[in-house]
Structure 1
């Protein structure tokens, strides 16, 4: 009996060794899976924290999934907003991010909006230099990004520039470039923009402001073909004299 009890520890160790050998492949597979998942997670983090300096650098899946990016305004031009992309900072890869900091601005257009010249002036007055904003990717054409742009207006409020421009009557709704007419987000967004434009129409704001009698009369006179010929003759006469 004593000899049998002395063999129990050895038998236990042998059984434990057999179990480990039998499950070694499973353990290795689990470890490999965790490593692969870690690589995938790191790759996604790298994409999210990469600083994009050109529209063509942005992965197509970002645009297809309508990802929101953060940026700092640099300039407003007739073509759109020039924005410096400000990526999310993660401590574990902050050293890599410092290496990615290069010059380059993204050209962003207000999706679904045809700006008037007064609309561009309004943006230049309302937006501050270096103002932070969020822009949701909806489409890309060459180096131009079509986006929904949101800016903060105080601590607890924000406005969508696309809608605000239409509410002020400083633009018209147009087709949202980059989105399929059959997609749910297209009709949802188009409805929002049309509702914003309707508010300007009801209030006769901006381009929807009805002209006065004298304004209509002046426009009619200026467009009259006889008046135009008279102006041309007067110009010709000044040159001759």
Structure 2
């Protein structure tokens, strides 16, 4: 009983620990794709700067607060390379100090590759990775940190590609610009054909 109690306590201490650096997060949290909660502070070109908000257990949390240091985690939208307009969209959509959830998929140096979820009401949450692609404000890229042959990698990658395809079909965002250039190129090439064929 005592050993089981110690194990439960140790696990709860880890879940209530405030992580202030990507390197502080246990490897098993990343490999098991644990979902963490945090408060948004800044949106930068590198990603979202988030203050981790751990699970609160009154006795343990009050003890830990005395020695926990301060720091922000750099959270990247896994599988997404956003355009400059994507950063502007995020700054409009997300409120300062907004609470978000981020599911750990990988860690690269001091950055965390994550699926980022935002609550949009009591029963609705939006995945920012998918939404930014659905708006045509970024492109799908390989998900760093997940083995490329893993089931989870391909499941998430398909989700992201479907979101990107919706924007492509509707010519939204960056795809609107590309479709314009494609039309322009087609006009130029068709004009050349007319000139060549003209007597």
**Cα RMSD after superposing both structures:** 1.6
Match of 2:157 among 190, 194, 202: 190
Q: Give the whole-Å Cα distance in 2 for the aligned partners of 1:37 and 1:94.
A: 21
Question: TM-score scaled by structure 2?
Answer: 0.88
Match of 2:87 among 114, 120, 123: 120
Deviating above 4 A after TM superposition, structure 1's stretches of 4 or more consecutive aligned residues are none
- Residue 74 of structure 2: SS of its match in structure 1? strand
Name 2:193's counterpart in structure 1: none
| Cα deviation 1:15-74 (Å, max 9, x = unaligned) | xxxxxxxxxxxxxxxxxxx11111111111010000000000000000000000000000
Does residue 143 in structure 1 map to residue 110 in structure 2? yes
User: What is the deviation of 1:154?
Assistant: 1.9
> 1 or 2, which has the higher strand percentage?
2
CA contact (8 A) 1:50 1:100 kept: no
Alignment CA distance shift 1:172-1:212 (3 Å): closer
User: What is the deviation of 1:212?
Assistant: 6.8
Does residue 160 in structure 1 map to residue 127 in structure 2? yes
> 1 or 2, which has the higher helix percentage?
1
Q: Give the whole-Å Cα distance in 1 for the aligned partners of 2:61 and 2:52.
A: 16
CA contact (8 A) 1:72 1:131 kept: yes
User: What is the deviation of 1:92?
Assistant: 3.4
Name 2:197's counterpart in structure 1: none
- Mark the runs of 5 or more structure 2 residues left unpaired by the alignment: 189-199
Q: Give the whole-Å Cα distance in 1 for the aligned partners of 2:29 and 2:36.
A: 10
Does residue 132 in structure 1 map to residue 99 in structure 2? yes
- How many pairs were matched up? 184
Q: Give the whole-Å Cα distance in 1 for the aligned partners of 2:163 and 2:120.
A: 18
Rg comparison, structure with higher value: 1
Q: Give the whole-Å Cα distance in 2 for the aligned partners of 1:76 and 1:200.
A: 23
Using the TM superposition, name which of 121-130 and 97-106 deviates more.
97-106
Higher relative contact order (CA 8 A, sep 6+): 2
